[in-house]
Amino acid sequence: MSLYGTMRTGVSGMNAQANRLSTVADNIANANTTGYKKASTQFSSLILPTTGGSYNSGGVNTDVRYSISAQGTFTYTTSATDLAINGKGFFIVSGTDGQEYMTRAGAFTVMDDGSLQNSSGFKLMGYEYSSTEDPTIVVNGFDGLQEINLASGALNATGSTAGALDVNLPSNEVAGYSKSTSLVAYDSQGNTRLIEFNYVKTGDNAWTVEATYEGTTIAGPEPMTFDAEGKLLTPSPASITTAPQTINGAELSALEISIGGSSQLASPFDVSNGKINGNGASKVTGYEISEDGVVSLKYDNGQLTPKFRIAMASVQSPDNLKPLPGNIYAQSNDSGVVVMGYAGTNGYGAIVSGALEDSNVDIAEELTSMIESQRNYTANSKVFQTGSELMEVLVNLKR
């Protein structure tokens, strides 16, 4: 047996336990870090060939592994922009270097510039929302992503385009009888515009309807004909469309007003349904993020306006991703290529708004590992110390 080999093996064991203690220290330090995935040290033996009946002590190698695919528990919060992923996938964030990374740390906050940044300063990325189709995803890369920015939604006004006005016209009135009602519409700048509708009886079961704005006709007069039961006959228009107007620099769009539910019965004039879309200038009061990652602005008038769709990413071997400072991950040679998608589709998990994913560190397990490492380190130091003492005896024999 080589005394030098004994000492080398002791040093190898001490280095291995030092590596284990380093991962334990990191795990304990990050036990409360949102989205943190614990590291662990794996050991493998290093055996040297035995020659001439003489044993050559080898040593031990270590390899650090990360439990990135192991999901942590959830802590629920009152902030809609605190996000967690229930299942597979990663948020895509952008750093100050302009590069995209993956993370499970979803403690996002709306900054002064409208961006959503997590506690490490990385900005959430996604796609602009479309109500007609999902954005085309570059499956194997981050191309096409944009920063999710909510600054443009500070104030919102939506011009009116359509509505409904269903009334009952009194059948027992004589020809020439007229009655008016009105609807409030919104122009492109959120100003209210009063549209007046005037009904005139022209004969038995026959009426006209005319729409005016400030005394100027913008639709009609349109004839309305009813059957013997007081229902609007099919040849009569089911809706009337007003002409578009430019008012003090703002645009009042053409309005398609449905009148198909109107009736003519022996009852006083009455409005059974009167509504119009659009809204005046309204401030953002909050945000709402759905399970499929649609980010909507919530206005003080109760309206929800979808703005963005959060993108998600994954790889074939998440545990082999490359961890980087800031609790983020980058693709490595062993992780596989990045695959993009949306929450709730193709195996990706659902986004939980108002929640954060806890670290998957078990403190009790880490303390046990720390005690084991301490004892093993001490034992390996005894091996080195014994070899050193025997080496000193051997040197003294020559004297």
Looking at residue 247, its amino acid is I
pLDDT value at residue 134:
64
pLDDT in tens, 157-202: 889 999 999 999 999 999 999 999 999 999 999 899 999 999 999 9
CB 81 within 8 A of CB 56: no
Q: Round the average pLDDT of the chain to a whole number and report it.
A: 88
The domains of the chain are located at: 3-67+360-398, 74-156+282-357, 177-263
Residue 1: is its pLDDT beyond 60?
Answer: no
Instruction: Determine the pLDDT at residue 290.
Output: 92
Rounded-to-integer distance, Cα 46 and Cα 28, Å = 29
Distance from C-alpha of 346 to C-alpha of 234, rounded to nearest angstrom: 48
Confidence of residue 135 (pLDDT cuts 50, 70, 90): low
Q: Which residues contact 323 (CB under 8 A, 6 or more apart)?
A: 37, 39, 66, 68, 329
Alpha helices per DSSP H over 123-246? none
Residue 18 predicted with pLDDT over 70:
yes
Q: Residue 262 has what pLDDT?
A: 93
The two tokens of residue 393 are 């005896």
Positive/negative CA dihedral, 269, 270, 273, 275: positive
For 335-361, what is each residue's pLDDT tens digit?
988 888 889 888 899 999 999 999 999
Helix H or strand E segment including 396: helix 363-398
Q: How many Cβ atoms are within 10 Å of 378's Cβ, its own excluded? A: 11
Beta bridge partner(s), residue 246:
251
- Range 65-81 average pLDDT: 93
pLDDT of residue 106: 92
Mention every residue, 6+ apart, whose C-beta is less than 8 A from residue 362: 38
CA dihedral 100, 103, 107, 110 (to 10 degrees): 10
Query: Looking at residue 53, what is its pLDDT?
Result: 66
Per-residue pLDDT at 244 = 93
Structure tokens at 257: 């007003």
| Residue 242 per-residue DSSP state | P
pLDDT score, position 61: 87
CATH class, 177-263 region: mainly beta
Q: CA nearest 284: which of 108, 134, 149?
A: 149
Q: Is-contact 312 92, C-beta < 8 A? A: yes
287 - beta bridge partners? Answer: 297
pLDDT at 51 over 80: no
AA letter at 373: S
Percent of the chain with pLDDT strictly greater than 70: 94
Read off the pLDDT of each residue in 40-47 and give the average, rounded to a whole number: 86
* Residue count (the chain): 399
Complete DSSP assignment for 270-322: EEEEEEE--EEEEEEEEEEE-TT-EEEEEETTS-EEEEEEEEEEE-S-GGGSE
Q: What is the pLDDT of residue 140?
A: 67
Per-residue pLDDT of 227-274, as tens digits, reads 999 998 876 678 899 999 999 999 999 999 999 899 999 999 999 999
DSSP codes joined into one string, 336-350: ---EEEETTSTTBPE
Q: Is the pLDDT of residue 136 over 70?
A: no
In 3D space, the residue among 167, 175, 173, 219 whose CA is nearest the CA of residue 196 turns out to be: 219
Please determine, for residue 283, whether its predicted confidence score (pLDDT) is greater than 80: no
Which 3 state secondary structure label does DSSP give 372?
A: helix
* Bridge partners for 40 per DSSP: 65
